[in-house]
Structure 1
Amino acid sequence: MKFFRLDSSIRVEDSVTRALADLVEAEWTRAHPDAEFVRRDLGRRPLPAIWPAAAAGLTIAPDARTDEQRVAAALAAELTDEFLAADAYLIAVPMYNFGVPQQVRHWIDLIITDPRADDVNLPIVPGRPAVLVEATGGGYSPGTPREGWDHLTPYLHRILGDVWGLDVLTVRAELTAADTNPAMTHLRPLARQTLAEARTTAQDHARTVAERLRGVPSDQPAAEFGTRLSAATR
């Protein structure tokens, strides 16, 4: 069994997405103590800005590529290798400036330059389970002043679910800036409530995925069993 965990918060201490992801990981470790975790931390170690070189190299024969294009293609292959090898996924992403952090978008863009992932009409990990952890400093739910400003969730669900084929369960904490923003003082009780609900949801989703993976035959990799697992639990 192999789990893939992606962190992307630029904060190490007091990161809500990291803390919620830790809850998911703890549940998975409890259920599958022998499982391997493959980690990619884009917040602490952002990828080099070489997507333009990777994209430019797509239309050039490998032996005609520049050194930079070859390095970019090799990194894209490495990212795709570790992504394809997992049986389940934990993706932790905070909202920055109403959308996806640039380090996450760069990771996605690089994977899509790999020949195994460049056809966005052909899912690369169909049916495999994923927990998506999100955190937003403000509130973007229906009826709030900034309803419709959330450009994080729709994009990630398009890529992770519709393009790559993951079966995504989402954990979301809102109003995480309330404790530090004086203008949001009146929202602090609601922020604590939504965080407590997110913690419960994180653990529930983690248990759901762990239970699904228990149904994988011992002689068959979970990744190969993903499509039938997904169909059986919907």
Structure 2
Amino acid sequence: MKILHIDSATTGANSVSREVSAAAVAHFKEKNPGAEVVYRDLGTEPLAHLNPTTTGAIRLPAEAHDENMKAAFAAERAVLDEFLGADVIVIGAPMYNFTIPSQLKAWLDRLGVPGVTFSYSEAGPEGLAGGRKVVIASTQGGEYEMGGAMEHQEQLLKDFFGFIGITDPIFIRANKIGYGPEAREASIADAKAEIAKL
């Protein structure tokens, strides 16, 4: 088994999403002692936002690459290959200003590749990246219902992964963490109890 562990919080040791995502990875490693874990920390080593060079490197066929795209291709494709090579993807996804951190969005932008993770036909879009388990450690300072007013975090992730063929992402939620120490600890404990059921 290969596990891809993604963190995106910028709050360091105070990050709840990092604690919950680490607990999820530990859970899967305990169940699969030989599992290989690949770790990418977008909070400390963010990917650049897409530009014409990186977009071309990811989306255009090799024969259409200019010299800059050729130079960028290997590093850009490596991000996608990490994802495609994983059986389980664990993502630490805090809510920042009602949505996901921009560095997590930059990572998602590397995964949405026509002809690789999705395709279009007259019947509409088809996801091509199914067959993987995605577990999202979702954290919120307040309490927001998926798809509700001001909630553009979990719904975005659900829609994105569904679009590329992963229609059943698992959300492990720790919310109300801004309500004080007791609420924070209770929410973390609840999240870890949910992980134990996976």
Give the TM-score, by structure 1 length: 0.72
Distance in 2 between residues matched to 1:139 and 1:2, nearest whole Å:
33
- Decide whether the 8 Å contact of 2:20 with 2:188 is kept in 1: no
State the partner residue of 2:144. Answer: 140
Between structures 1 and 2, the one with greater strand share: 2
Tell me the C-alpha RMSD between the 2 structures: 2.5
Structure-2 separation of matches of 1:102 and 1:125: 23
1:201 aligns with 2:194: yes
Matched residue of 2:127: which SS?
coil
Q: Structure 1 residues 51 and 72 mapped into 2: Cα distance closer, same or farther (>3 Å)? A: farther
| C-alpha spacing 1:33/1:69, structure 2 compared with 1 (3 Å) | same
After superposition, the Cα gap between the structure-2 partners of 1:67 and 1:113, relative to the gap in structure 1 and judged at 3 Å, is farther
TM alignment of 1:83-98, pairs within 5 A: 83-98=83-98
Please tell me whether the aligned partners of residues 50 and 72 of structure 1 are also in contact (alpha carbons under 8 angstroms).
Answer: no
Alpha-carbon distance, 1:58 to partner: 6.7
- Alignment partner for residue 123 of structure 1, among 112, 127, 131? 127
Segments of structure 1 that go 5 or more residues without pairing to the other structure are 180-187, 206-234
Distance 2:72 2:114 in 1: 10
Aligned length: 193
Give the deviation of 1:116 after TM superposition. Answer: 1.6
Give the structure 2 partner of residue 161 of structure 1: 162
Query: What's the % identity of the aligned pairs?
Result: 27
Question: Rg: which structure is higher?
Answer: 1
Q: Which amino acid aligns with 2:144?
A: Y
Distance 2:59 2:85 in 1: 27
**How far does residue 61 in structure 1 lie from its aligned partner after superposition?**
5.7
Q: Distance in 1 between matches of 2:56 and 2:31?
A: 44
Unmatched segments (≥5 aa) in structure 2? none
The answer to which structure has the higher helix fraction is 1
Q: TM-score scaled by structure 2?
A: 0.84
